[in-house]
């Protein structure tokens, strides 16, 4: 409920700013510039969040010491016995009584 009030106050503030700008500039050029600045700021903000998300995903692709130890960052610990979906090799043998195939179910 508190966030709704904050959003309503922000919308009301934007409306007051637009009305004041329209009062002093009836042609609307300043309003167009403000709109352009607002659009560019929102684009840069979304690009920044996109870049940080992609950066976090690509950093997980490179093998670090944590990943070699089985900890794939951010506290996600994997059990050494949980091998479903992974290829078996000399360091990761299949459990007893299971075929050594690349894909497991």
For residue 105, being part of any structural domain is answered with no
- pTM, whole model, 2 decimals? 0.35
For residue 53, being part of any structural domain is answered with yes
Spatial CA neighbour of 31 closest among 48, 10, 17: 17
Domain around 39: 2-68
**HSE-CB for 57 with a 13 A CA cutoff:** 6
Mean pLDDT confidence for 56-71:
53
Report the distance separating Cα 49 and Cα 41, nearest Å: 12
- pLDDT band with cut points at 50, 70 and 90 for residue 105: low
Most confident of 4-13, 25-34, 81-90: 4-13
For residue 47, being part of any structural domain is answered with yes
pLDDT at position 12 is 92
For residue 22, being part of any structural domain is answered with yes
For residue 80, being part of any structural domain is answered with no
More confident residue, 66 or 24: 24
- Axis-axis angle for helices 29-61, 2-24 (nearest 10): 140
For residue 13, being part of any structural domain is answered with yes
Domain tally for the chain?
1
pLDDT above 60 (res 44): yes
């Amino acid at each position: 409920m508190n966030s709704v009030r904050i959003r309503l106050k922000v919308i009301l503030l934007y409306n007051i700013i637009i009305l004041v700008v329209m009062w002093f500039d009836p042609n609307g050029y300043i309003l167009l510039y403000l709109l352009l600045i607002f659009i560019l700021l929102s684009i840069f903000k979304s690009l920044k969040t996109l870049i940080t998300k992609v950066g976090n995903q690509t950093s997980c692709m490179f093998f670090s010491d944590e990943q070699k130890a089985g900890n794939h960052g951010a506290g996600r610990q994997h059990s050494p016995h949980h091998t479903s979906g992974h290829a078996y090799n000399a360091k990761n043998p299949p459990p007893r009584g299971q075929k050594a195939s690349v894909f497991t179910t």
